[in-house]
Amino acid sequence: MANGYDFIIIGGGSAGSVLAGRLSEDPGAPVLLLEAGGSDRHPFYPLPAGFAKMTKGIGSWGWDTVPQKHMQGKMFRYTQGKVIGGGSAINAQIYTRGTAQDYDDWRQMGCAGWGYDDVLPYFRKAEDDETWDNRYHGKGGPLGVSEPRAPLPICEAYFAAAAQLGIPRNPDVNGERQDGVCYYQLTQRNVRRSSAAMAYVTPNRNRRNLTVRLGAQVRRLIVEAGRATGVELADGTRLTARAEVLLASGAIGSPRLLQLSGIGPADHLSGLGIKVVHDQPQIGANLQDHLDLYCIAELKGPYSYDRYAKPHWAVLAGLQYLVARRGPVASSLFETGGFWYADPDARSPDIQFHLGLGTGIEHGVASMPQGGITLNSCHLRPRSRGSVRLQSADPAQAPLIDPNYLADPIDRDRTIRGLKLTQEILAQSPLQPYILAQRLPGPEVRTDDDYFNFICRHSKTSHHCAGTCRMGADDGAVVDVRLRFNGIDGLRIVDNSIMPTVISSNTNAAAIMIGEKAADMIKADHGMPLT
């Protein structure tokens, strides 16, 4: 194709992979997918349990946040995917969509066409669900969706413990209701990861009109006479897009690249010596994320997967997986959880749980001597807003990521309530045959101030960042409801940065939905056949 394509997609993550697969369905449309990271051929990527290695930096940009001024200066490791498939290649494979209310709220904010009834067909279109085939789920789509294969008896005890607090069991938190505890649906097929790249790109690599370039970091967008015409790579290569440039680098990567291209807050860019191409103060603003807390309990015996960290047990785990697709290698460790309320008056659940079948999973936390479990909680409706800015005009420099966690006092209150609820669940009688003692938070954590101090030491990102290139119908919105950039022709943003508000769950399923819906809008706008 020389250097000319119809569509150039920047970022081969969850949404970008979908775009590549769907737009290249039209053989007359040359499509180029650019991914700064490498391939997903490392043996950890397809294994469900490989997630535990990914959090330690494999396939990641390796960024950190700025010190959090409302959390005693704590800095967070901010794992962002740098591999084909992006976050979907390194996450825990949890497939949750949020509630219908999340999307209906977007519609009420002026985002026509993004209500729940509008987006549900795209969730269904993406799915090849091994369990469900009904109004809420689909079969035959590219994305494998399945149930966990390696739960342990302590998972059922967790369900019984939650029931004692009035939290019901819910077999499908992506169905009619989100409330309740559950085994999460997973982006897996045949007990192997089904990342967006594995689902949408790999099966289509032989298409003559689809070009995939790995290790291709984009330095800047090229804008001429108010139109995005292509990209410049880090090595100086220029590539031309005849139809559109599609930015799909995520809620951190997309505003970062826009600002490096002179598109963003004019005062910030000028201060860094970057020529202003287009002044848009909202680029990089409105950052939202779910702050994740963890409660850790030591067990009385080998009731979790901790023992498999020892070499001889690890060999057995490998054999279990190879022979029967069972055991710890078949588990992403956080396949059990649920949704409930910190605020009893909330319209839909505002707390999410993840039960981790081991310890030593969280950065900086040692494994329990007898083995243990980790029960995480996160407040799903943060009011705090952060930002993504550049620290210099040098593309090699990491961005300044500021989630601004707990800036709003209500976030602090709901977060503490969620942590206390995890402790209550772990204290219920069905779990007592398994649990020796709760270790984190310890008995010294009693008052709300104690809990806050604990949170400032023991918390992490949920990897659910969103909102930094907000969609809307108002003058301040970065993109319109068809995801077209306001003020520059030929440019669309297609990733979780367009969310006006972060959804109340894990965000990977929504990113894939956004990619599916955007692909149909792009096809319609360019007279391409719909599938």
Catalytic positions: 464
Which three-class secondary structure state does DSSP give residue 263? Answer: strand
Q: Which helix (H) or strand (E) holds 340?
A: strand 336-340
Please name every residue paired with 247 in a beta bridge, in sequence order, or none if there are none: 10, 493
Token pair, residue 376, equals 């995480």
Among 52, 106, 30, smallest CA distance to 304 is for 52
Instruction: Give the chain's end-to-end CA distance (angstroms, integer).
Output: 25
Identity of the amino acid at 374: T
Kindly report the backbone phi and psi dihedral angles of residue 5, in degrees, each rounded to the nearest multiple of 5, phi listed first. Answer: -140, 160
Residue 456 burial (10 A CB sphere; 0-12, 13-18, 19+): middle
Joined tokens for residue 455? 């949170």
CA–CA–CA angle 136, 351, 186 (5° rounding) = 45
Residue 235: count of CB within 10 angstroms of its CB:
9
Q: How far apart are CA 222 and CA 227, in angstroms?
A: 8
> How far is 385 from 407, CA to CA, in rounded Å?
8
According to the 3-state scheme, what is the secondary structure of 71-109? CCCECCEECCECECCCHHHHCCCECCCCCHHHHHHHHHC
- 181 vs 338: CA distance, rounded Å: 4
Q: Which of 353, 351, 465, 461 is nearest to 415 (CA)?
A: 351
